[in-house]
Amino acid sequence: MEYLTEGFLEDIVTDPANPQNMILDLLTFNEKKAVAAAAKIARNQADWNNILWWGIF
């Protein structure tokens, strides 16, 4: 979770099966920020039940 909240916004992540494929290029910066925000919320939860069911109900 730490990586998703802070590290991946500016990183270059490639597909292990195809190094020419830049995975994070498929997401806009706003989409990356949304992933980071969701990861931060999940990271601050007390247990997995809160993480898995957050936002569903």
Its pTM stands at 0.65
Instruction: Measure the CA–CA gap between 46 and 23, rounded to whole angstroms.
Output: 30
In this predicted structure, what is the pLDDT of residue 50?
Answer: 67
Residues contacting residue 22 through CB under 8 Å, at least 6 positions apart: 12, 13, 14, 15
In this predicted structure, what is the pLDDT of residue 24?
Answer: 79
In this predicted structure, what is the pLDDT of residue 51?
Answer: 67
Read off the pLDDT of residues 2-51 as tens digits, 9 standing for 90 and up: 778 877 788 888 888 988 888 878 888 899 889 888 888 888 887 777 66
Domain segments of the chain: what residues?
2-53
Is the pLDDT at 56 greater than 60? The verdict is no
